[in-house]
């Protein structure tokens, strides 16, 4: 190309500008790439620390890091209680613990929770409650299901402790132990019907 201009140039003529041909592309390169990418991702997934910004070498998972944290039984029970609450209780009583006006009574600041002992609230959770109930001066009339067959003593203790000691709700009442739950479960073994508010109020709160 451009023979006219090259004639007057002091440089020897040059080849045309390069072009790319459509040379065959071997499929095995793609296959090899896919294989390496697959095993690389698997390996990466095993050792990426779960994309956590807190995992640094030589540790490989957040679990390893948690094992280094000091163990606080009350904290662990609180976290378990929070989890159980959000799974089982928050649907009616809400995550805020305020319930729904006219339908589900509040737990946060509730005079049924703020008792000195957990005597009534354990029974209430174990067997459920039905009929009219007065909470903080407001009337409710609804039913709460029994939890005795769905939760262990440990779980009921955790969830009630969460409700009674939740700092967000300004609750600082005594925690509930699994032994307390077991004791009441054994005492009320024969009971199948839900409680009524009237029955519970006859019992001592301790």
Partner 1 sequence: MSLSTQTESRANAPAASAEVDASCRAPVLFLFTSALLWLVASGSLGLIASLKMHQPLLLVRGAELTYGRILAASSNAFLFGFAAQAILGVTLWMLARLGGTPLVRPIVALLGAIIWNLAVTVGVGGILAGDSSGYEGFEFPSYAVPALLTAYTAIALCAVATYLQRRERDSYVSQWYLLAGLFALPWAYLTVHSLLLINPVRGVAQAAINAWAGAVLREIWLGGAALAVIFYLVPKLLNRPLYSRGYAQIGFWMLLVLGGWTGLHSGAPLPLWMVRMSSFASLLMIFPLFVVAWNLHVTAGGQRVFGADCRVLAFAGSGLVFYLLATLVMAINPLISEAVQFTYYSAAVKHIAFYGAFSMAMFAAIYHIVPRLADADWPCANPMKWHHKLAVAGVMLVALPLAFAGWQQWMGLLDPSADFNQISRTAMRAYRITTIGEILWLASSLLLVVNLVKLLASRFCPCAALASCTAESNGGAR
**Which residue ranges make up the site for partner 1 (CB under 8 A)?**
1-2, 4-6, 9-12, 14-15, 17-25, 29, 32-33, 36-37, 40-41, 43-44, 47-57, 59-60
Q: Which residue, 43 or 183, is less far from partner 1 as judged by CB? A: 43
Q: Which residue, 59 or 90, is less far from partner 1 as judged by CB? A: 59
Q: How far is the CB of 79 from partner 1 (least distance, A)?
A: 24
Report the distance separating Cα 58 and Cα 46, nearest Å: 14
Residues in Cβ contact with 96 at an 8 Å cutoff, skipping those fewer than 6 apart: 108
Q: How far is the CB of 4 from partner 1 (least distance, A)?
A: 8
Q: How far is the CB of 36 from partner 1 (least distance, A)?
A: 7
Q: How far is the CB of 69 from partner 1 (least distance, A)?
A: 18
Q: Which residue, 22 or 143, is less far from partner 1 as judged by CB? A: 22
Residue whose entry in the numeric block shows the structure tokens 């005492």: 187
Q: What is the rounded (10 degree) CA torsion for 37, 43, 47, 48?
A: 20
Identify which of 56, 35, 27, 60 has the alpha carbon closest to the alpha carbon of residue 46: 60
Identify which of 108, 89, 91 has the alpha carbon closest to the alpha carbon of residue 159: 89
Q: Which residue, 39 or 76, is less far from partner 1 as judged by CB? A: 39
């Amino acid at each position: 190309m451009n023979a006219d201009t090259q004639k007057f140039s002091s440089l020897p003529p040059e080849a045309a500008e390069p072009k790319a041909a459509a040379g065959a592309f071997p499929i095995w390169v793609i296959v090899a790439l896919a294989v390496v990418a697959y095993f690389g991702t698997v390996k990466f997934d095993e050792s990426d620390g779960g994309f956590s910004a807190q995992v640094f070498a030589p540790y490989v998972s957040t679990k390893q890091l948690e094992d280094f944290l000091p163990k606080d039984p009350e904290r662990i029970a609180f976290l378990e209680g929070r989890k159980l609450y959000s799974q089982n209780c928050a649907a009616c009583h809400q995550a805020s613990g305020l319930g729904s006006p006219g339908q589900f009574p509040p737990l946060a600041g509730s005079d049924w929770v703020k008792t000195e002992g957990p005597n009534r609230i354990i029974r209430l959770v174990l067997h459920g409650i039905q009929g009219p109930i007065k909470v903080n001066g407001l009337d409710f009339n609804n039913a709460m299901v029994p939890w005795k067959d769905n939760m262990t003593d440990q779980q009921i203790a955790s969830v009630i402790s969460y409700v009674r000691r939740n700092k967000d709700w300004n609750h600082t009442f005594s925690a509930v132990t699994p032994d307390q739950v077991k004791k009441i479960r054994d005492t009320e073994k024969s009971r199948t019907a839900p409680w009524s508010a009237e029955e519970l109020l006859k019992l001592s709160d301790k």
